[in-house]
Each structure stands twice: as structure tokens, then as C-alpha cells.
Amino acid sequence: MRALVLRSSPEFDSTYSPPIAQEGEALIRVLKAGICATDVQLIQGYMGFQGILGHEFVGIIEQCPNQKDLINKRVVGEINLSCRQCATCKAGRLTHCPNRTTLGIDRKDGAFADYLTLPTENLHVLPDHITDTEAIFVEPLAAACQILDQITISPTDQVVVIGDGKLGLLCAQVLHTTQCHVSLLGRHREKLALISKGGMSCTTRIEDINPGADVVIEATGTPQGLAIASQLVRPRGAIILKSTYHGNNTVDMTSLVINEVSLIGSRCGPFPKALQLLNDRKVDVEPMVTERYPISRGLDALQHATEKGALKVILEMN
């Protein structure tokens, strides 16, 4: 099969061996896959990953020995493959299983290929009217929904989202559904314009945002993001960390201690809630698509995803 493989550097391989579905797994023919900031970080050395990149996808189940009723269903999939046997899994913390592998990120070939395999319990069948393009956003949208599973946001709260990349734009839209006051701080007016019509305050100037926010979401993907978040959050407020970094981050912890600020790491999230938001048309993702490439031009697509102003770059397998 065709695949974008990370070895010492990304390579397009037209003769990669297709995966074989194991017990409890489905073989999925990938239709489209989205390039994420994490994919770029993996190329830069994050996690030391080697293999097929990609974890945002939509596909068709072609083989599923244990659940034949799923064959030909259009699906998206959760990316963490948990053992479901350890104490962490039995306690319900499946995404933190110490034995887990992660699609396209950690010891599991990913979605930038004609085929992938996942356990059937990771799969979610798509409603017919959610498009393939919208489906690409389910995984990152679920990550945005995770915020509301971790903290309670009330309509009176002042919330600031820092970062106008794909995840920042999704977080702002998800938080806006709570009817709280959302301010989005970014660096690109054209990106902010994609969601400013939804009633959110969008700006490129930190001076336009009053400090003292109840909650600040850090989604810049840069080490400077946490420093900015620390400036904007109120004492005893919360900073939600959505960014991952390749390398170390230097942080002034003293002010966080003095102000009793809660730091909350936030990663993967609930797919059903993301699907419901798309189904109810409460989140608009189509404007975030920058460009589409056939997988044969996957290396060009990866390069495009790193360019200034790029949001979601999509690989199409057909």
C-alpha cells in the first residue's frame, strides 16, 4: 500500500506492507486524513516515533471478523490502544493505560496510508450527514471537548483561549457553547476571522484582553504560551494546557504558587460529544481546511502544514 513513513525523515513509500487485523480489530480503508501539529513535532523528534504518521482520519471498515455488521461502515477512531487489563484500565482511565500504544504517535502505524487497523472498541460509526471532511476534525474536536469534562464552565465565567491554530479555534467554539464570555488571542487576523462572527471577542493584541480571567486555555504550541496564560489568569483561576512541545519549557512557577493557580493538563477527549456538536452544527470546521493533497504528494502536504497561515491540510487517498 501507499504510506507516508517517518524513518530518519518522512518518506513516501508505495510498497509498504498493509496491516493485518488482529483479534478484536478491524481493517479500515482510509478515505482522508488530517495533518496535525503533533505530526510536525514527531518529524522534529517528539516521542522518537518511527512508522506511519497520522491519527486524524475517516475510513471504511473492510474486514472485521468479530463484528461483521460493521463491514462497510464509515468510521472515525480513538487513537489510544489500551490493554484493558491493568489496574489503570480497570479504574476507567483507559487513555492513561501504562501499556498503551497510540495511533501514528507511539508504536502503532497511523493513518497516512491506504489502510490501518484499530480495535473495534475504538471505532465510532459516523452519521450519514457528517461529511468526510468534517469527520477529519472529530479527534481534535474531542480533545477540545475534554476541557468541559475536566472543569465546570459557567455562563458568567471569563475565559481566554490563547492560540489561533486548529486546536485553539476548536477550543474557542466548544467553550462558546457554554454561553460564557470567550476571548481568543491569536497572531493571525485571517484565522481569527474564521470564527469571529460567532459572537466571540477575537484579537491579536494582549492589551485588548483584561487580565483576571477565570480560565485560560493555552493552545499556542509554543513555550511562550504558558507565560502569557500566567499573565491573564486570576488568582485561584485555572490554566488548561492543550499544547505539547518538543523540548523543555522554562516556567516561572513562583507566581503560580503565590496566586494558587491550578495547572491542568488536557489531552484526548470524548468522541461522542464531538460527534454530537458536529451533528447539531454547533461547531463549524470546514473553513479551517487550508488545502487538500493526494497521498502521492504527501511530502508536499507535510511541508505545506508547516507554513505560516496553514490550518488543516488534508491527505486524500482516493
* Position 280 in a domain: no
Question: Do 38 and 110 lie in a common domain?
Answer: yes
Percentage of the chain with pLDDT > 70? Answer: 98
Phi-psi region of 94 (alpha: psi -120 to 50; beta: other; left: phi over 0): alpha
Mean pLDDT, residues 221-232 taken together? 90
pLDDT top residue among 37 and 60: 60
User: At how many degrees (to 10) do helices 271-279 and 138-150 cross?
Assistant: 110
Q: What is the residue-averaged pLDDT of the chain?
A: 95
Asked whether the predicted pLDDT for residue 247 surpasses 70, the reply is no
pLDDT at 244 over 90: no
**Between 27 and 221, residue with greater pLDDT:** 27
Which pLDDT belongs to residue 246?
Answer: 62
170 and 257 fall within a common domain? yes
Domain containing 253 equals 141-265
Element (H, E) at 236: strand 233-241
Q: Supply the DSSP symbol for 15.
A: S
- Say what the pLDDT of residue 197 is: 65
Per-residue confidence (pLDDT) for residue 173, from 0 to 100 = 96
Q: How many domains does the chain have?
A: 2
pLDDT band at 243 (very low <50, low <70, confident <90, very high): confident
| Structural contact between residues 243 and 218, judged by C-beta atoms closer than 8 angstroms | yes
Same structural domain, 145 and 249: yes
Give residue 123's identity as a one-letter amino acid code.
L
Hey, what's the cell of 316?
A: 486524500
Residues 7, 132 within the same domain: yes
What pLDDT was estimated at residue 249?
73
- Grade residue 218 by pLDDT with cuts at 50, 70 and 90: very high
Residue 125 and residue 211 in one domain: no
The 10s digit of each residue's pLDDT in 92-120 is 999 999 999 999 999 999 999 999 999 99
> Given this model, what pLDDT does residue 157 score?
97
Using an 8 Å Cβ cutoff, are 171 and 180 in contact?
A: no
User: In terms of domains, do 127 and 29 share one?
Assistant: yes
| Same structural domain, 128 and 152 | no
162 occurs within a structural domain: yes
Asked if the structure places residue 276 within a domain, the reply is: no
pLDDT of residue 248: 72
The percentage of residues in the chain with a pLDDT greater than 90, rounded to a whole number, is 90
Residue labelled with grid coordinates 510536525: 40
Following CA atoms 68, 30, 116, 103 in sequence, which dihedral angle do they give, to the nearest 10 degrees?
-120
- Report the pLDDT averaged over residues 31-38: 96
User: Residue range 294-310: average pLDDT?
Assistant: 96
Note whether 116 and 28 are within 8 A (CB). yes
Per-residue pLDDT of 156-200, as tens digits, reads 999 999 999 999 999 999 999 999 999 999 999 999 999 876 678
**Whether residue 75 sits in one domain with residue 102:** yes
Q: What is the pLDDT of residues 134-156, one digit of tens each?
A: 999 999 999 999 999 999 999 99
Statement to judge: residues 154 and 128 lie in one domain: no
Q: Establish if 272 belongs to a structural domain.
A: no
